[in-house]
Amino acid sequence: MDVILGHEGIQALKMYFDNQLATLDKLVKDLELALAEKGLELLESNAPTFDIDGNIAGHAYTEATKSGYRVVYSGEDVAYIEFGTGIMGESNPYPDANALVEANWQYDVNGHGINGWFYKSKRDGSLKHSRGMRPEKPVYDSYKQLEMVAKDIIKGVLNDFFA
């Protein structure tokens, strides 16, 4: 890069830095997308594909946001699947106590205890019995697995970017 004094030189320098910023913006977007795609892959492999104790499995997808991407696990019963319910959930609590507080999650809120409760199946209307369920924690497990591979993903994106 040549350095030119005066107005012309300042404009050239500004253009150079604008190009560098655009390059860095693309790199950040590539990194975010690669991490989101891996997060989605992990969540899809960890999330149940079948009903659990009457709770209907959700579905996972990525979503672009103003600040990047996020991986979403969505569905009517995904909170029950993630955190667990009843005396079974209370006996095998979710590993992240802060997340339980943040979600205002409580086990066995109706005090059924070991006796459990009966509910009508959402699928076929039949009467079922439950004492709750242990947390399946597909989101938590996917997050922990992503933490373990994030450095390799970042290294791969950087190698591709600067190749």
Boundaries of every domain in the chain:
7-107+133-162
pTM, two decimal places:
0.85
pLDDT at residue 16 is higher than 90: no
Q: How would residue 2 be classed by pLDDT, with cut points 50, 70 and 90?
A: low
Token duo for residue 19 = 């190009």
Residue 66 neighbours by CB under 8 Å, 6+ apart:
none
pLDDT digits (tens, 9 = 90+) for 29-80: 999 999 999 999 999 999 999 999 889 999 999 999 999 999 999 999 999 9
CA distance 108 to 88: 9
Of the candidates 91, 93, 97, 78, which has an alpha carbon nearest to the alpha carbon of residue 139?
Answer: 78
pLDDT digits (tens, 9 = 90+) for 112-134: 999 999 998 888 889 999 999 99
Q: pLDDT at position 123, please?
A: 85
